[in-house]
Structure 1
């Protein structure tokens, strides 16, 4: 979802489209064969509020297709990323592969792990026509489609606790300068300015993404994505990284943030319990706070906005970052029967009204067209309209860096961002490390 029209965006125009696009062991019978005859396996993420919606979809499919079942297995976010990488490398992955598109999907394509779905979408135009076009950008590699966009549009936003703001007697920030002014005011009251699950690393990344975007716009990362040598050496990168470390030194984040994990939702709890005033996080956080925060959401105490502009920055303040969808691919190791089961799931259950209702009810904007009516009648209507408007008004909706880059570059990115936040490396050392993995 870039600016233009939310429902009619182009699926892919080079680099910009590519950017437009965020535990336990698997079952013993869920290898490349996908399980028993007549069954396909499906791996996806666990946790509220998304897991029940995913489970319900598989249950609906199995009920409607008793002779062609799908077996689902669910993993915590970070555990899944490692599990699926290992399983696919060993030829033991599931029949249906949950992923985030972008650089990770490109790696799967290059390794021959996933089916080319371009011809299938051409033969099933009614399926493709029901999906928001922009979501196909991150599903496309070298002009070919390798994944089915599913679930929801999830930009990253700035959440804040209105009760805490009222308590301290301050207003939500309109610029990054306002954020810096708020930091000492909250600290003086014993309230952390920002909650942050720093151990998960990708949560730190959202800060670097926004600060670079608001400082310099999208050009710098576009050059990185295109593989331009030393693209990270742009002065705007050093400026943004310095801003991050200045904020850390000013106690802008909750003490001990580097030991807090996103999978535990502890960062969400810090916000809704008033221990932290603000949090930069994906829009999926709304559903978590609604499910776990008592009356925090229902009472109107949760505030939200797009990340504010950086004073003097060149980036368009309407720009959005995050996930233009989630994705399902079909394993090349699956049997012909299992591949057909997956395609039937893609063309039936995931398009039905119950699917839309599930995501809207949990506080998400679905990737499917025709959801506007349900958005307006949802008890989450105000937030969903905000997400919708954020996507509609964005000049650019950029895919999260760790998803847009290859797994090799992404791991280096996340590792060095964690070190940056822990003040273990300098901005220049960060730049040098990242320049070393451009194009890898």
Structure 2
């Protein structure tokens, strides 16, 4: 995973969005395993919480724990911080041995489902029923990746990062065209841009997961959210749904029409080269995560500050079943409670979830860092943003996330590791036109439920 993937890049120096912050990649500060933060003395209490290093997220999490510990001196939370890769290894081993932390930080989806299947995390459905105001304060769509078998096993926390269709207004002016309002518009724009020597779309295809974002939207726009939901739930031959096969076919139609920059399969997202193609005018459009805004503002000259960047939700498919308000990406991050913890620690953890994860101080901090928190109250904080471009952008992200009837989790996070790796491998082949849509579906159907 790229170091800039799936997080916004922080607001610094008077509110300018800036690049260079670690996300769910492997870079960032060294592991501080065994350290305590937030004012907790070593060994005080037994309620434990493990989370990731990397700013600005790390500092916000530390401040949350400090506020809790300052208010609960007799029942503090002890924290341990890990780099991303170390965290993934340690948490899996510890939970498997029944020795995980009280509070389990994660991405929801497939990872959470594995914990639920092993009876390692608490069912929070009843607790949310008793705390309706808390539940109602969170974007409803964020609960999808927290829900397994109709029950809630995690609280959505932190931030939302949808996938966005970015475009260069200057390129559209050069060809005398308007931004696409449908998939057919996208296909009609391809030759217009190619005729002017502008690539229709930038794509860091070597990274594979960047290609995946296209399929996530096409599946949704053509067949509706239930197509991938059936796959997630392990329905046999889910990838052979007629809408899925149609989406795969349309994907290859765009590739065959030279919809992407030449040599896209050798371009990496890690280097941000795909973003550079957009802000330098070499490509007209780019489907990418909301986290790329910060780097494009920091590295793109006047691309953002000069008002040349446009953005929109992915357009509908002509005759498709999908809801055009749906989005995909990261609907939040998630905190679960270990089923192996003592009742006192479970109660302490629930108190922390209720009072310190989406409280006013937390939401303020996330917005100041250039993020939209999963809380509806984020909207109220946007008035504090003074930069017009940033304010417009954050309002767009808020509206996209809050209005989405379905906010689907990125497939490689929603699925099990076995399915995710098979998926990324076959997506690369699909985009290289080395396998057909039916072959793609056959390969993926073979690992459904694994």
Q: Answer yes or no: same fold by TM over 0.5.
A: yes
Go from structure 1 to structure 2 and tell me whether the alpha carbon gap of 1:118 and 1:235 turns closer, same or farther (over 3 Å shift): closer
- Any conservation in 2 of the 1:284–1:363 contact (CA below 8 Å)? no
Deviation, 1:208, is 1.0
Q: Does 2:146 match 1:146?
A: no
Go from structure 1 to structure 2 and tell me whether the alpha carbon gap of 1:292 and 1:60 turns closer, same or farther (over 3 Å shift): farther
Go from structure 1 to structure 2 and tell me whether the alpha carbon gap of 1:26 and 1:363 turns closer, same or farther (over 3 Å shift): closer
1:420 aligns with: 430
1:65 aligns with: 69
Which digits, 9 at most, give the CA deviation of each residue in 1:169-209, with x for residues without a partner?
A: 43212222222232233334443322223233222111112
Q: Does 2:63 match 1:56?
A: no
The one of 372, 375, 382 aligned to 1:365: 372
Partners of 1:340 and 1:259 in 2: how far apart?
Answer: 51
Partners of 1:324 and 1:257 in 2: how far apart?
Answer: 28
- What is the aligned length? 410
Give the match's secondary structure for 1:251: coil
Q: Does 2:285 match 1:278?
A: yes
- Any conservation in 1 of the 2:31–2:81 contact (CA below 8 Å)? no
Which digits, 9 at most, give the CA deviation of each residue in 1:246-269, with x for residues without a partner?
A: 322333223343344434433333
Which digits, 9 at most, give the CA deviation of each residue in 1:121-161, with x for residues without a partner?
A: 46656544533344223212234432221122332221112
The one of 50, 53, 59 aligned to 1:42: 50
1:11 aligns with: none
- Any conservation in 2 of the 1:43–1:96 contact (CA below 8 Å)? no
Partners of 2:225 and 2:136 in 1: how far apart?
Answer: 29
Go from structure 1 to structure 2 and tell me whether the alpha carbon gap of 1:133 and 1:389 turns closer, same or farther (over 3 Å shift): closer
The residue correspondences of 1:45-194 to structure 2 (distance < 5 A) are: 46=54, 51-59=55-63, 61-62=65-66, 65=69, 68=76, 69-75=78-84, 85=92, 88-89=95-96, 96-118=103-125, 121=128, 127-194=134-201
Q: Does 2:400 match 1:390?
A: yes
Give the match's secondary structure for 2:365: helix
Instruction: Give the alignment's TM-score, normalised by structure 2.
Output: 0.77
- Any conservation in 2 of the 1:224–1:438 contact (CA below 8 Å)? yes
For CA contacts below 8 A with separation 6 or more, give which structure has more relative contact order. Answer: 1
Partners of 2:59 and 2:155 in 1: how far apart?
Answer: 18
Partners of 1:125 and 1:432 in 2: how far apart?
Answer: 43
Partners of 1:172 and 1:74 in 2: how far apart?
Answer: 40
Q: Does 2:254 match 1:247?
A: yes
Partners of 1:164 and 1:239 in 2: how far apart?
Answer: 30
Give the match's secondary structure for 2:316: coil
Deviation, 1:368, is 1.4
Cα RMSD between the aligned structures?
A: 3.5
Give the match's secondary structure for 2:244: helix
Instruction: Give the alignment's TM-score, normalised by structure 1.
Output: 0.79
Q: Which runs of 5+ in 2 are unaligned?
A: 1-23, 36-40
Deviation, 1:216, is 2.4
Which digits, 9 at most, give the CA deviation of each residue in 1:308-350, with x for residues without a partner?
A: 1223433333332233322123455778887677555423332
Go from structure 1 to structure 2 and tell me whether the alpha carbon gap of 1:181 and 1:137 turns closer, same or farther (over 3 Å shift): closer
2:20 aligns with: none
- Any conservation in 1 of the 2:166–2:309 contact (CA below 8 Å)? yes
Deviation, 1:109, is 1.7
1:326 aligns with: 333
Q: Does 2:448 match 1:438?
A: yes
Deviation, 1:304, is 0.7
Give the match's secondary structure for 2:447: coil
Give the match's secondary structure for 2:364: helix
Deviation, 1:54, is 3.7
Partners of 1:288 and 1:299 in 2: how far apart?
Answer: 15
- Which shows bigger deviation, 163-172 or 117-126? 117-126
Partners of 1:412 and 1:337 in 2: how far apart?
Answer: 42
Go from structure 1 to structure 2 and tell me whether the alpha carbon gap of 1:351 and 1:222 turns closer, same or farther (over 3 Å shift): closer
Partners of 1:70 and 1:256 in 2: how far apart?
Answer: 45
Go from structure 1 to structure 2 and tell me whether the alpha carbon gap of 1:93 and 1:226 turns closer, same or farther (over 3 Å shift): closer
Partners of 1:218 and 1:56 in 2: how far apart?
Answer: 33
2:224 aligns with: 217
